[in-house]
Structure 1
Amino acid sequence: MSANDYYDIIVIGAGPAGSTFCRLISDKYKVLLISKPGSKPCGGLLSPDAQRALSKYNLTLPKDILVDPQIFAVKTIDLSTGRQRYYQRSYLNLDRNKFDNWLLSLVPDNVTIINAVCTDIYKDGEKYTITYNAGNTSHFVKCNYLIDAGGAGSIIRRKIFKKRIRKYIAIQQEFEDTVQSPFYSCIFNKETTDCCSWTISKDNRMIYGGAFPINGGRKRFELQKDKMIKQGFIFGKEIKFEACVVYRPSTLFQFALYKDNVFAIGEAAGFISPSSLEGISYAMETARLLACAFNKNNNAKKIASIYKRKTFSHRVKIMLKLLKCPFMYNQFLRNCVLKSGITSIKIEK
C-alpha cells in the first residue's frame, strides 16, 4: 500500500451530505470521496428548509436542474375515506440526479473523487481500512477519520454503529404522464402503509412512489396503485422502477453521530423527517456543522463534542415532527383535519 492510499478523511457517499462536507472541509486535510454509481428513489422536491440551507452559501440553482411544472399546492388524498384537500406548499420541482451532480461539481479539486462501491470496513489499530470495488477490481485505502454519508442501508452504520432504526422500503415508478393538469399529491392509505405516498409531475412524466413496510412492500405498493386506479387515476406507460431502504427515526436513541473516529451525517446518522421523509436539508446542515468542527479542531473527541452539541437542535426538531405524525397518519385525526379544512386552500376552476 503506497502513501497515496492513505487519507486523513474518507467520505462514503456523494449525495448532498457527502458533497457538502467535501466542499466545506479545509484543504489541510487529505480527503477521499467514494461515490457509489447510480441513483435512488426521490421525489425531487426541494423543501423550504433545503432552500434555506442553500441560501447560507449564496448558491443559486442552475436553471437546467429545475423541471416543469413548478407547483405551489399539494393535493392530499385519503384513499380510505375519499377525502381530498389542497394545501399551499413552496417546493422547487427539480431533477434529483442533476441536483446531486451539481453539488458534486462544487467539490474542490483537492478532494479526490472515485466512482466505486464500498464493500468492507475494518479497524486497523488507530486507522480504518476501506475495501472498495471499481472496474471489477478490489482496492484498499486507509484513513484516520471515516465519514458516513451513505444514506439509509449504510455499510458503516451496520458494521460500526450497529444501532437499530425504523426502516421502510421506498418504491418509485416513473410513467409517461397522462394527466392533462399536472399536480403534486400526498397519498394516505392505512391498508397499505402507515407512511405516505406521492405523485409528482416532471417534464411530461409522472412519478408515483411511497414508503412501505419492508415485508411485502412491493405487494403493498401494487395494491395501493390498484386503489388509485379504482378512484379514476390513469397510469401511462412505465419508464422506470426504483426501490431502496429509507430510514424513519422514532426515538432520540436511533441517531448515530460518532464512534471511534467514525462520524455520520445526513440520513446515515438518522437525520430525516419522520413525517415527510425530507432529508436534503438535514444532509446539508449536518455536513456543514461537521466540516466546521473539523476545520476548527484536530482532536476527534473535541470534534465529536462540538458536532453533537451543534446538531442537538436538529435532533429535537426531528423529534418534534413525531408530534405531527398522528395528525397525518392516524386515520381518525387525519379525517378530522381534512374535514375541518384547517389551513387548506380552495382551488378555483
Structure 2
Amino acid sequence: MYDIIIVGAGPAGANLARLIGNQYKVLLIDKRDRENEKPSNLSHKCCGGLLAPDAQKMIAFLGLGIPGDILVDPQLFAVRTIDLSAKLERLYQRFYFNIDREKFDRWFISLIPDTVEKKFNASFLDYSEIPGGYEVRYIYNNQLISEKAKVVVGADGASSRVRHLITKSSRSSIAVPDKYIAIQEWFECAYKLPYYTAIFDEEISDFYSWIIPKGNSLLLGAALKPRENTREKYELLKSKLTQLDYHFGNKVKSESAFILRPTKTSQLFTGKDSTALIGEAAGAISPSSAEGISYALKSSYYLAQSLEGGIDGFLDRYSHKMNHIKLNLQLKNLKSPAMYNPSLRKLAMKSGLQSIK
C-alpha cells in the first residue's frame, strides 16, 4: 500500500511530491506525457506562460531558482490595457517572467526525488474507500491498474476528477467556482511587440482576453463562458483587434482548457476524510487574473507541512493553513470590481493613475 497517491503532475502535484517524497511512499500519476523528450501538443498546458510576482515570490520562498532555458524572449515590463467597449487604453508597468510553460512543468518534475514512483500517460478513473484507505484505479499501457493508498490527493486542475468524485459521494452540497473555457491560438509573428496586452470587452466576456509575444509567435487567448457561442466570440475578438492594427500571421496551433473563477471563499474546498485537493482542483486560483501557479505552489506547500506531523488529522491541519489562501481570494474579489465593472474600470483608466505616460 502507498501512503499517498497524487493525481496530477502539474506544479501543485510535482511540488507536493518533491516535498514529501522522502518521508512517505508516494505514487504520482498524470495523463500527460512527462517522460518523452519530444512531447506532443496534447501534453502541453494551455497557459499564457507568464510567471507573476506572487509566483516568483513563492519560488523564492521554496529556495528555488529558475533555470535560464525556461525563460523565453521577449522579457517585457509593460502591459497595454485596452477597453474595447469604452474605447480606452493605457500602458501599465508590470513585472512578469515570460516562460516556456512545458519546460517549467518538466523542471518541477525533475526536482522530485527518486523515491517517488511516477506513472505518466496514466488516465485516472476513480477510487473507492477500503479499510485503512482507498483503492485507486487508472489506465496505464492500455491496462486497468488498481493500487491502494492511505491518502489520495487531487492535483488534477479545473476539471478535477477527484473533486467530482468527492462531490458525488458527499451528502452535503459543495460550492463550485464559476467555470470558463480558455481558448488560445499561436500565430506566426514577424514583428516584435514591446508589451503584453490585456483586453476587456463585455460583448466578448465578463472576464478578459490577452496577447502575449513568445519567441517568434504571438499568443491570442480569451477566457469565455462555456456554451455561449465561445468560438464566435473568439473570432469577434480577433476581428476587433485586427482593426486596431494587430496582425495575426499563419496559425501554428490551437489550445483550450477549463479555468475556474472562485467568487466566494466557500468555493475553496480542501477535501474530505483522507482525500485532499490542492491547486486549482481545490478552487485555488486568482479570480481577478486567473493566475494559478502561486496558489498551486502555496497549497501544495501547506499540505506538505500538514503531513509532517503524520497522516492522522492532516486534513484539519491543512484546512486551517488554507485560511491564508481564503483571505487572499477575498481580497482579490474586492479588487475585481475595479477591473471588471465597466463604469469603475472606465473611471480608473481615465484617471491615468499608475499608468505610464
- Name the TM-score class by shorter chain: over 0.9
**1:179 aligned onto 2:178:** no
Q: CA separation in 1, counterparts of 2:205 and 2:190?
A: 26
**1:188 aligned onto 2:200:** yes
**1:253 aligned onto 2:266:** yes
Q: CA separation in 1, counterparts of 2:238 and 2:220?
A: 9
Q: Answer yes or no: is the 8 Å Cα contact 1:26–1:295 preserved in 2.
A: no
Q: Answer yes or no: is the 8 Å Cα contact 2:273–2:315 preserved in 1.
A: no
AA matched with 1:137: Q
Query: Once structures 1 and 2 are overlaid, which stretch shifts more, 307-316 or 172-181?
Result: 172-181
Q: CA separation in 1, counterparts of 2:192 and 2:19?
A: 43
Q: CA separation in 1, counterparts of 2:257 and 2:298?
A: 23
**Superposition TM-score, scaled by structure 1 size:** 0.94
Counterpart of 2:207 in 1: which secondary structure? coil
AA matched with 2:74: P
Q: CA separation in 2, counterparts of 1:52 and 1:180?
A: 29
**1:135 aligned onto 2:147:** no
Equivalent residue, structure 1, for 2:308: 295
Equivalent residue, structure 2, for 1:77: 82
Pairs within 5 Å for 1:80-159: 80-115=85-120, 116-159=122-165
Quote how far apart the aligned CAs of 1:259 are: 0.2
Quote how far apart the aligned CAs of 1:135 are: 2.3
Equivalent residue, structure 2, for 1:213: 225
Equivalent residue, structure 1, for 2:22: 27
Equivalent residue, structure 1, for 2:171: none
Tell me the number of residue pairs that the alignment of Structure 1 and Structure 2 aligns: 339
Q: C-alpha deviations, 1:191-228, integer Å up to 9, x for none?
A: 01000111100111111111100112222212211111
Q: CA separation in 2, counterparts of 1:84 and 1:178?
A: 24
Which of 213, 229, 240 aligns to 1:227? It is 240
Equivalent residue, structure 2, for 1:13: 8
Q: Answer yes or no: is the 8 Å Cα contact 1:161–1:256 preserved in 2.
A: no
Q: Answer yes or no: is the 8 Å Cα contact 1:16–1:103 preserved in 2.
A: yes
Counterpart of 2:308 in 1: which secondary structure? helix
Q: CA separation in 1, counterparts of 2:216 and 2:143?
A: 40
Quote how far apart the aligned CAs of 1:126 are: 3.7
Q: Answer yes or no: is the 8 Å Cα contact 2:78–2:194 preserved in 1.
A: no
Which of 298, 315, 319 aligns to 1:304? It is 315
Quote how far apart the aligned CAs of 1:233 are: 1.5
Quote how far apart the aligned CAs of 1:95 are: 0.2
Counterpart of 2:347 in 1: which secondary structure? helix
Q: CA separation in 1, counterparts of 2:69 and 2:80?
A: 26
AA matched with 1:310: K
Segments of structure 2 that go 5 or more residues without pairing to the other structure are 33-42, 169-173
Q: Answer yes or no: is the 8 Å Cα contact 2:21–2:113 preserved in 1.
A: no
Counterpart of 1:324 in 2: which secondary structure? helix
Which of 332, 338, 343 aligns to 2:349? It is 338
Equivalent residue, structure 2, for 1:202: 214
Equivalent residue, structure 2, for 1:3: none
Quote how far apart the aligned CAs of 1:298 are: 2.6
Q: CA separation in 1, counterparts of 2:276 and 2:158?
A: 15
AA matched with 2:160: S
Quote how far apart the aligned CAs of 1:274 are: 0.3
Equivalent residue, structure 2, for 1:50: 55
Q: CA separation in 1, counterparts of 2:337 and 2:326?
A: 19
AA matched with 2:213: S
Segments of structure 1 that go 5 or more residues without pairing to the other structure are 1-5
State the percentage of identical aligned residues. 44
Q: Answer yes or no: is the 8 Å Cα contact 1:178–1:234 preserved in 2.
A: no
Counterpart of 2:105 in 1: which secondary structure? helix
**1:65 aligned onto 2:76:** no
Q: Answer yes or no: is the 8 Å Cα contact 2:76–2:195 preserved in 1.
A: yes
Quote how far apart the aligned CAs of 1:182 are: 4.0
Q: CA separation in 1, counterparts of 2:258 and 2:15?
A: 22
Query: Once structures 1 and 2 are overlaid, which stretch shifts more, 131-140 or 72-81?
Result: 131-140
Q: CA separation in 1, counterparts of 2:114 and 2:212?
A: 36
Which of 242, 266, 273 aligns to 2:279? It is 266
Q: CA separation in 1, counterparts of 2:343 and 2:321?
A: 37
Counterpart of 1:27 in 2: which secondary structure? coil
Q: CA separation in 2, counterparts of 1:171 and 1:135?
A: 30
Counterpart of 1:17 in 2: which secondary structure? helix
Counterpart of 1:121 in 2: which secondary structure? strand
Query: Once structures 1 and 2 are overlaid, which stretch shifts more, 116-125 or 203-212?
Result: 116-125
Q: CA separation in 1, counterparts of 2:348 and 2:230?
A: 28
Q: CA separation in 2, counterparts of 1:21 and 1:170?
A: 26
AA matched with 1:233: Y
Q: CA separation in 2, counterparts of 1:298 and 1:135?
A: 31
Quote how far apart the aligned CAs of 1:159 are: 0.9
Q: Answer yes or no: is the 8 Å Cα contact 1:272–1:278 preserved in 2.
A: yes
AA matched with 2:205: T
Q: CA separation in 2, counterparts of 1:161 and 1:311?
A: 19
Q: CA separation in 2, counterparts of 1:118 and 1:173?
A: 28
Q: CA separation in 1, counterparts of 2:206 and 2:197?
A: 17
Q: CA separation in 1, counterparts of 2:273 and 2:255?
A: 34
Q: CA separation in 2, counterparts of 1:33 and 1:268?
A: 16
